[in-house]
Structure 1
Amino acid sequence: MNTEKNQSNESNQSNQKSRAEKGKRSKVPLLAILPVTVTCLVVGLPFVVGDHPLRWRPGSLKPVLVLHDSTPADGGEDTGPAGGGADAAAKKEEEEPPAGPPPKVDKPWKAGMPEWGVQIFWEDKKEHSAAYLETQARKQAAYLVGLKANAVSVSFPFYTEGRTSTKLAAGKSTPTPEHLETVLRVFHEAGLRTTVRPTLDEAVLVPPEGWRGNIKPTDKEAWFDAYEALLGPYLDAAQRQQAATFVIGTELNSMEGHPAWKGLIAAAEKRFKGEVSYDANWDNYVGGHIDVPVKRLGVDAYFPVKVPDDAPIDQLVDGWNTWLDKKGKGPLPRIVLAEAGISAMDGAYHAPGDFYTKRKLNPAVQATWYKAVCQVVRERKMAGVYWWSVHFDSDPKIAPREDESRLNFAGRPDTEREIRSCFGSDYAGPGTDPAP
């Protein structure tokens, strides 16, 4: 009872105190409230309607200055178009792909024409909807059409458990065959020649010492059986979407020459009626015969040229020809450069395929290299070139961030200018010249 009384007294005192405080607050002059209200409206309203220059990056307390048609002032990743409403716009993109067909190439590829292409590297997420994939594919298709490309190669990872493993499987970043079909359909609608290119992921191989070119499965026949089972659904997807080429293997140096390739390729050709190809690494290509029985051979071409960063075009062209002449002099009409690229940084000519080093940014090195390689493709009458690379989920109009690969070229104006010049050239293509 005493307890209840005490509680009642405490409650009465609390109510009296609350009323007293409320009375004090009610006496605050209205003029003292107005400035605060006006300030809140001036600062807060633009955030609501979407025209405030500050945006917070997700997961960060640091605001980012966003200017129209620019990247963030701190060099970080922008989270959407300049101005507010980025989240709403992204959600709308996810749910509602753009209306109408994507832009189309001016001159669709036909046999005998050069393949002017780009490698799209795609690490998928299973939660991505078909609407998101279509929106992103249209964005990339529009970018490629703007570069005057007529071809695209879709590279995506599959996985193993180690250098000696016989197990191969689709992983968390491997697109499903259904997702692949969505993307191929959009590219096909844009008039682009399409290539499907599954590539063995190297993360568990501990690069650069371990890589896909020096795997040693304990049972190679079992490895090829697992590979055939893995590729089957992707071959079917490529066939349904009328892809032009399916790359049956990429840079598998240590597996070249095995008799199981013959059976694997025969099985692939039963499911896929387009062109079955193999992409060799540049060192094995110039070093001897690539013993994989395909009709089409691509080369991942990262030939080192020991010249300074300010070397003229002709020195780079001579360096490339020195390497190619090891294989054979003259035209190479049956060879396509399946990958060609270089880091936009100092010293990159000495090791164009160095994916791991990051020296001082130097866009001129990358642009000059692209110009030289394009000249080699034309002079040696090659079947074409695919530049490495554009990431499928990226916005190709935004310059690469500092923490991204120096090999990325999308958003680097000097390199993009050389690509457009190359792809818009009057080179007629390899035609029917005999292979060396």
Structure 2
Amino acid sequence: MRSLGLIFLCILFSGCQGQQTVEEKINGVSFVATRDAVGPEHLGPVEQLHANYAAIMPFAFIRSVDEPTVIFNRERQWFGETEEGVKQYTKELHSKGIKVMLKPQIWIRNGEFTGEFKPNTEAQWLALEKSYSDFILTFAKVAQESKVDIFCIGTELHRFVENRPEYWHNLVTQVKQQYKGKLTYAANWDEYTKTPFWKDLDYIGIDGYFPLSEEKSPKKEDLVKGWQKWKDQMQKLHVALDKPILFTEFGYRSMDYTAKKPWLVDRNQENVNLDAQALALQVVFDELWKEEWFAGGFIWKWFPHHNEVGGKENNRFTPQNKPAEETIRQHYKNQLENQG
């Protein structure tokens, strides 16, 4: 595997000819699974947002590092996380003209961060690999049967990728035997430059929670300035590998210091700051959607029961029933009109 630095060095001698660019932007939402099937009443707000993509995220579970087997597609899981549920969600979204990225994900008991999950013994590694392959290949088959538009082979699994790169190269080969559409992997913002298999995929997928500002309520110029080094890094990798950049997740909480550590999911009591969330999203759109190398992204996150979530007292990620929803709607609408 060549290091990123060596790849960048090669650019100096090879030039930038033949780079892939993006024509239709992905204006997506991360569509959260529920206990039930979805219908027009759940998809209407997604249509009204002018989203052209939705990510469906069937979760699997791991108990602990001592029991690393991936558990999925069980009767006790919510309908939207099962094979049947994924097929139903995809069918309904496609019926509304909304394309789908299928993005199977892992949840570790007690909310342990997946990026640091690393078995201690070879036997544990093998158990993880076998069950993870079963998980991903099961949904790769579903993706093919349901004509899913993009399939994501993993989300924020840095230590797994770092320690078992050969496994991941083999997994990509196996997925391609099952699924014939476009592929990506959702690397965390601080992981993606080290991912060794981008050349085998169609998109460089990034969960785009880049830190931008230390300010309580950052101004537009703070956020624009904060983006510049990250944009430069992403563009260099795009040029080096000739792959478009896709934000497999992106978003901000509606709270103070929203751009300081955008990845925080804890139940903190920071004050609600609706304007900061809306501004941070607007700056993402202004800075990245104009770039030819940027494919678009999926807002984190969107709940099917629209009228029951979000709102002016909510400091979580969802933009629903907040000013940020209108920010997204206007941007996605403008994108639709410009591409039409």
TM-score, length-scaled by structure 2: 0.81
2:5 aligns to what? Answer: none
Aligned amino acid, residue 54 of structure 2: V
1:396 aligns to what? Answer: 306
| Residue 189 of structure 1: how far off its partner (Å) | 0.7
Cα distance in 2, alignment partners of residues 146 and 427 from structure 1 = 12
Cα distance in 2, alignment partners of residues 336 and 363 from structure 1 = 26
Cα distance in 2, alignment partners of residues 224 and 254 from structure 1 = 13
CA contact (8 A) 2:25 2:335 kept: no
Aligned-partner SS, 1:259: helix
2:17 aligns to what? Answer: none
Aligned amino acid, residue 169 of structure 1: I
CA contact (8 A) 1:119 1:339 kept: yes
1:194 aligns to what? Answer: 100
2:16 aligns to what? Answer: none
1:224 matched to 2:129: yes
Aligned-partner SS, 1:159: strand
Aligned amino acid, residue 269 of structure 1: K
Could you say which structure has the larger radius of gyration? 1
| Residue 295 of structure 1: how far off its partner (Å) | 2.7
Contiguous gaps of at least 5 residues in structure 1: 1-110, 431-436
CA contact (8 A) 2:28 2:55 kept: yes
Alignment of 1:250-269 (within 5 A): 250-257=155-162, 258-269=165-176
Cα 1:291–1:403 change in 2 (3 A) is farther
Aligned amino acid, residue 161 of structure 1: R
CA contact (8 A) 2:273 2:315 kept: no
Cα distance in 2, alignment partners of residues 246 and 224 from structure 1 = 19
Cα distance in 2, alignment partners of residues 398 and 166 from structure 1 = 35
Number of residue pairs aligned between Structure 1 and Structure 2:
302
Higher relative contact order (CA 8 A, sep 6+): 2
| Residue 230 of structure 1: how far off its partner (Å) | 2.0
Residue by residue over 1:222-271, the C-alpha shift from the partner in whole angstroms, topping out at 9 and shown as x without a partner, is 32221111223322222121100111000001112420112211111111
Residue by residue over 1:168-212, the C-alpha shift from the partner in whole angstroms, topping out at 9 and shown as x without a partner, is 11153352211211110000111111011111113x1x44xx310
1:424 matched to 2:333: yes
1:410 matched to 2:320: yes
CA contact (8 A) 2:312 2:321 kept: no
Cα distance in 2, alignment partners of residues 168 and 399 from structure 1 = 30
Cα distance in 2, alignment partners of residues 329 and 291 from structure 1 = 16
2:64 aligns to what? Answer: 162
2:179 aligns to what? Answer: 272
1:373 matched to 2:284: yes
- Root-mean-square deviation (CA, aligned residues, Å) is 2.6
1:305 matched to 2:212: yes
Cα distance in 2, alignment partners of residues 334 and 429 from structure 1 = 20
Cα 1:386–1:373 change in 2 (3 A) is same
Residue by residue over 1:81-115, the C-alpha shift from the partner in whole angstroms, topping out at 9 and shown as x without a partner, is xxxxxxxxxxxxxxxxxxxxxxxxxxxxxx73000
Alignment of 1:86-125 (within 5 A): 112-122=23-33, 124-125=34-35
Cα distance in 2, alignment partners of residues 404 and 226 from structure 1 = 37
Identity of aligned residues (%): 21
Aligned-partner SS, 2:289: helix
| Residue 312 of structure 1: how far off its partner (Å) | 2.6
| Residue 330 of structure 1: how far off its partner (Å) | 9.7
The structure 1 residue matched to 2:113, chosen from 211, 215, 220, is: 211
1:359 aligns to what? Answer: 270
Cα 1:403–1:177 change in 2 (3 A) is farther
Cα distance in 1, alignment partners of residues 227 and 321 from structure 2 = 26
CA contact (8 A) 1:297 1:336 kept: yes
Cα distance in 1, alignment partners of residues 320 and 283 from structure 2 = 18
